Structure 1
Amino acid sequence: MLLTGLVLGIALGFAMQRGRFCVTGAFRDLWVTGNTRWLTAFLIVIAVQSVGVFTLDAVGVISLSSSAFPWLATVLGAFLFGFAIVLAGGCATGTYYRAGEGLVGSWLALIFYALFSAISKTGVLATGVSGIRSVTVEASTVHGLLGVSPWLMVTLLATAVVLLARHHLRKRPGARLATLPPRKHGIAHLLFEKQWGAFTTALVIAGLAILAWPLSWATGREAGLGITGPSSNIVNYLVSGDAEVIDWGVYLVLGILTGAFIAAKGSGEFRIRIPDAVTTVRSIAGGALMGIGASLAGGCTIGNAMVNTASFQLQGWVAFGFMILGTGLATRLFITGPSKARSARNAAARESPGQGAAALGSPTQTAHATRTSVRR
């Protein structure tokens, strides 16, 4: 039964790679352009999965439970995780599927993410993480806190997501880009060549996320999709050799990596790409902070913001919000901030050439700024 994790992971990695399903990009778009298309796709996954999860619970296939809400660790960890995914260039699953495409920066982020997840869960940081997570409140679910049926929450979420999706689907499409004639036909064309839409990809991922619940439960792992815990388990296995830590989730994340590689090779997108020094440092730092943040928060953008939200856990929805805030801060520091400063300097130079040159500084400073801009 453990092999079902591998099979589902391969399908998930394939879908994410072909659909370019990037949660980091969805969060970042909010702050850079205000575009909510990919965030809507992410919410589609949550809403559809929510219907499936509560149906499975109602018919007795799984049994949803809840525990006290570790609010402090969730807030701190989620904000840190959201900040880190901008540095790393992707969240947990994004790092896995980009590693499958051959991005060495993602390999580094993934290694340090798994390493610091293990350090935070079972290593030298475990005591501190456990201590912060012990600060809890009894409330655990949104519907429990409000005293309403979970199906009311499912209905409200589904309605909001349908309206958002309808809004985007009714927008006038932009100009179509010229494309080369297809080289593949039939299923091969659909799988490896044809562009996957954001909402189509979301529906595929939602179906896989629902399927993950009964498949995982059948092996004794009572959870849905999850990335942080399994990544930590891989490191613990490599260190201790304890085969008991190899569970359904470990097979899942190995499958994501494999599926992304298959998709990238089949579509001609696999290529080994070596990052520059700045990207290397950011990937390592981002991966390490992701591992710590996800361990504190009790999950990443999948385990918390996609899975725990579907069952309306307070931890999931609070983490979702603070991940977006953390992404916003990192976006301001590393993406929009420098570009706005450059735009302001360029505008000053156009208005008054002499003053603009003075504002830009000496030729040496200008050259250094140019090199810094290129590296960024």
Structure 2
Amino acid sequence: MKNRLALSAIFIAFAVFLFWFVSIRQSLLFIVGIGLGAVLAGARFGFTTGWRNLIEKRDASGVFAQLLLLAIAAAFSMPLLASFPTELNAALGPPSISLLVGALVFGGAMQIADGCGSGTLYKAGLGIPLNMAILPVFALGSFLGSAHLGWWLDLGHTQPIGLVDKVGLSKALGITYLGLILVGLAAWWWSKTSGVSRSIFNKTLVIGAVLIALLAVLNLIIAGQPWGVVYGFGLWAAKIAHAGNLFDPTVNAFWSQPVNATALEQSVFLDLTSITNIGILAGALWIFSRNKTGKANKLNTQQWVVGIIAGFLLGYSSRLAFGCNVGAMVSGISTGSIHGWIWVLMAFLGSLIGVRIRRYFGY
């Protein structure tokens, strides 16, 4: 109880600091981040685990919770984008070679590392050793991926496609819900192949999905952009590299872009993604202080090495794929980006490989 009260006091003080010295928006985003972290950790809402349970156990409950999250988020996000096209932005990424490769690698790496971007954050907040160790190499990989992104895009890409802009609100919602229904039917069919009768609905995950969807919509309204994770990681590493004179952002295609150059120069507290990430860590830490859920299986040296390499690949590939399960899948699909659907297909194929590698190394 004392730990929770002390943490709550610290979080309140930090929110007040942001409100007073930075902006009310950053303060509100920090609070939204705390909510996201608390729900993710409290419900153990794992995007990675949901996919792995479907693949290995034919348990579709995690995937159905994610589909519910997407359906709710889209129901709010797309009308908001249609009503406020200049104030709000969709999570658009260009269909490209980098997207195909990045999503495939990310899908495999997240199964080995047992966490995507948000999963790594909240599990680090829960005190799980592997995810705590992965967080800095994830950031390094994300930075290097962003630094190399120009080369990858030169291999071939098209302009981003946003359904709301291309076909209008009604058709965008219709296409999105049709896609979600088809994925749901496929997951339901796959779950039936096990021969074991399981419910496709898990009460805890369903509640988590609803809360995460609403918090993601709040993030869109407050920030003016959809919820993301990996940009913040890459920015943290880029700031360290820049401060140490290890790279010149002015000659880099990604970091010389005005918005990224500004983010690199200004305080991290002004970055929209970073402040939400800090909130997620805080929310998960609050859950850990209450439940002490940070226990994990002891890993051998080989498992540690493989896990750390997977963490680095998570960061690198997520930048090539323009997001992770949050930035590409949740935010991409719910705001009508075609790249989100491409990401899901390739990442699931990668997960099919990743679960086998995970099993081989005995995780």
Instruction: Mark yes or no: TM-score above 0.5.
Output: yes
Q: 2-side partners of 1:20 and 1:323: how far apart?
A: 21
- The one-character-per-residue Cα deviations of 1:20-73 (angstroms, maximum 9, x if unpaired) are 111111111222122211011111111111111112123327444686733211
Alignment-derived partner of residue 96 in structure 1: 121
Alignment-derived partner of residue 146 in structure 2: 121
| TM-score where L is the length of structure 1 | 0.73
How far off is 1:153 after superposition? 2.1
Give the RMSD, CA atoms, in angstroms.
3.1
Determine helix, strand or coil for the equivalent of 1:102.
coil
Alpha carbons 1:19, 1:196 under 8 Å: kept: no
How far off is 1:260 after superposition? 0.3
Q: How many positions carry a matched residue from both structures?
A: 307
Alpha carbons 2:232, 2:277 under 8 Å: kept: yes
Alignment-derived partner of residue 214 in structure 1: 221
Alignment-derived partner of residue 236 in structure 1: 238
Q: What does 1:1-376 correspond to in 2, within 5 Å?
A: 1-60=25-84, 62-64=87-89, 69-122=94-147, 126=148, 129-134=149-154, 135-138=156-159, 140-141=161-162, 149-156=171-178, 197-217=204-224, 223-240=225-242, 242-244=264-266, 246=268, 247-270=271-294, 275-335=299-359, 338=360, 376=363
Alpha carbons 2:160, 2:339 under 8 Å: kept: no
Alpha carbons 1:103, 1:274 under 8 Å: kept: no
Q: 1-side partners of 2:345 and 2:123: how far apart?
A: 25
Percent identity, please. 21
Alignment-derived partner of residue 260 in structure 2: none
Alpha carbons 1:48, 1:158 under 8 Å: kept: no
Alpha carbons 1:68, 1:137 under 8 Å: kept: no
How far off is 1:272 after superposition? 8.4
Cα distance change on mapping 1:9 and 1:273 into 2, 3 Å: farther
- The one-character-per-residue Cα deviations of 1:76-118 (angstroms, maximum 9, x if unpaired) are 0000001111221211111111111111111111111011111
Alpha carbons 1:227, 1:303 under 8 Å: kept: yes
Q: 1-side partners of 2:91 and 2:216: how far apart?
A: 19
Determine helix, strand or coil for the equivalent of 1:20.
coil
Cα distance change on mapping 1:52 and 1:86 into 2, 3 Å: same
Determine helix, strand or coil for the equivalent of 2:334.
coil
Cα distance change on mapping 1:302 and 1:66 into 2, 3 Å: closer
Larger radius of gyration: 1
Letter in 2 for 1:59: S
Alpha carbons 2:112, 2:310 under 8 Å: kept: yes
- The one-character-per-residue Cα deviations of 1:173-205 (angstroms, maximum 9, x if unpaired) are 78xxxxxxxxxxxxxxxxxxxx96111110000
Cα distance change on mapping 1:50 and 1:164 into 2, 3 Å: farther
- The one-character-per-residue Cα deviations of 1:229-266 (angstroms, maximum 9, x if unpaired) are 01111222334455526201101111111100101111
Q: 2-side partners of 1:117 and 1:165: how far apart?
A: 31
Cα distance change on mapping 1:105 and 1:68 into 2, 3 Å: closer
Q: 2-side partners of 1:166 and 1:79: how far apart?
A: 23
Query: Structure 1 residues 136-145 or 223-232, which shifts more?
Result: 136-145
Q: 2-side partners of 1:273 and 1:160: how far apart?
A: 36
Q: 2-side partners of 1:100 and 1:271: how far apart?
A: 12
Alpha carbons 2:53, 2:59 under 8 Å: kept: yes
How far off is 1:156 after superposition? 3.1
Alpha carbons 1:72, 1:132 under 8 Å: kept: yes
Alpha carbons 1:12, 1:259 under 8 Å: kept: yes
Cα distance change on mapping 1:72 and 1:101 into 2, 3 Å: same
Letter in 1 for 2:211: V
Alpha carbons 1:86, 1:331 under 8 Å: kept: yes
Q: 2-side partners of 1:298 and 1:68: how far apart?
A: 6
| TM-score where L is the length of structure 2 | 0.75
How far off is 1:162 after superposition? 8.8
Alpha carbons 1:78, 1:320 under 8 Å: kept: yes
Q: Unpaired segments of 5 or more residues in structure 1?
A: 175-194, 218-222, 339-371
Cα distance change on mapping 1:211 and 1:166 into 2, 3 Å: farther
